[in-house]
Amino acid sequence: MPRRRTKTSWLHRWSRPLIGAIAVLGATNTGYLTATKFAGGAAACPTKGCDLVLSSPYATVLGQPLALFGLAAYIAMAIFALVPLALGSEDKELRTKVENTSWLLLFMGATAMMFFSGYLMYIMFSKFVMPYGSGAVCIYCIASATFATLMFLLTLLGRTWEDVGQLLFTGIIVAMITLVGTLGIYAHIDQSVVTNTATEYKIKSATGQVFFTITETSGEAEVELAKHLKQTDAKMFGAFWCPHCADQKKLFGIQAIPEIPYIECAPEGSNPQLELCQTELAKASEQLRPVIGRDAGFPTWKIGDKYYSGQQSLQDLAEFSDYQGSNNFKNTLN
């Protein structure tokens, strides 16, 4: 009696090409972000979230754009998925060995990418969407997480796995290594703010002479605004001896001060950036002189392409920088 031919489902027939196609889309997505980052530009996006998220510390790993590592991962997944399809049927033993090995690599790679993307989704919603609203959604990040999840599902369901128990064990090990490594990479971010329980902040010269002591504490809104200003590349130019600069820092409070994008312009201050100050304050004076009738003084804020001279209220800084988070500031101008 002739043996009945086993019918192969369409998903098993097309799983490799589908995984390869998704990997190519993912490589295009991360490749664009990588090229944009290295070119110093901003990714095209219908929301402000792309620039907010992609310019944050979470978008950099080991000094390189996170998108670069994503690009490498997607290229590897495309190779694992498509190369076996190019092998001829002459050497069935070699083809079978390559297919089995590549399926395991696809499963391990897709598992790692899905769990890593899941953590990044948690970061995006907890650190950006919740404080700043729906405008902080990064469509490129969501697209990458979607691609990773689809590849995982296609890898899991796209073939018949003989040893499901071994597959489950491998998946758990890969997931644990991915999560531990991810938490280790990002452990330093926000640590200074979370652990800051000081009761005062002293503004000193480079020699340690104290000029001002700040005792005002920060609310959650002050901390989030300071982070937002840093992430959107705003800058506060000031000097350690400037009382108005000290008053500006008082508005933010002790916990938020480490997050303020402050640039020291006094030669006797700590870590002065004199050349940058000279260049930017000259531009600020040129822009502000017709408005205020004098050159820009301390503090001077640069937000986007505009300059604002003098101490600013937190509400004004939030408006100037399109901050979408909580405006429940506990510190206000007297």
Per-residue model confidence as pLDDT tens digits over 208-266: 888 999 988 888 889 889 999 998 889 999 999 999 999 999 999 988 998 999 999 99
Is-same-fold flag (10-189; 197-320)? Answer: no
**How are beta strands 210-214 and 60-61 bridged, if at all?**
unpaired
Distances (CA, A) of 318 to 42, 104, 113, 245, 323: 21, 50, 36, 18, 5
The answer, yes or no, to whether residue 196 has pLDDT greater than 80, is: no
CA dist., res. 17 & res. 15, Å (int)? 6
Render 260-271 in DSSP notation, one character per residue: S-EEE--TTSSS
pLDDT, tens only, 301-318: 999 999 999 999 999 999
* CATH T-level fold of 10-189: de novo design (two linked rop proteins) (1.20.1440)
- SS3 assignment, position 330: coil
The answer, yes or no, to whether residue 276 has pLDDT greater than 80, is: yes
- On whether the 197-320 domain is CATH 3.40.50.20, my answer is no
In this structure, what token pair is assigned to residue 257? 């001060």
pLDDT at 193: 41
The answer, yes or no, to whether residue 171 has pLDDT greater than 80, is: yes
pLDDT, tens only, 60-75: 887 788 999 999 999 9
pLDDT, tens only, 78-92: 999 998 888 766 667
The answer, yes or no, to whether residue 4 has pLDDT greater than 70, is: no
Band (pLDDT 50/70/90 cuts) for residue 93 is confident
Band (pLDDT 50/70/90 cuts) for residue 133 is confident
- Domain map (residue ranges) of the chain: 10-189, 197-320
Collect contacts of 89-94 with beta carbons under 8 A, ≥24 apart: none
pLDDT at 239: 94
The beta strand positions in the chain, using DSSP E, are: 60-61, 64-65, 201-204, 210-214, 235-238, 262-264, 300-303, 306-309
Distances (CA, A) of 183 to 73, 120, 188, 240: 19, 11, 9, 36
Average pLDDT score over residue span 187-211: 71
For CA atoms 54, 58, 64, 67, give the dihedral sign: negative
pLDDT at 132: 66
pLDDT at 192: 43
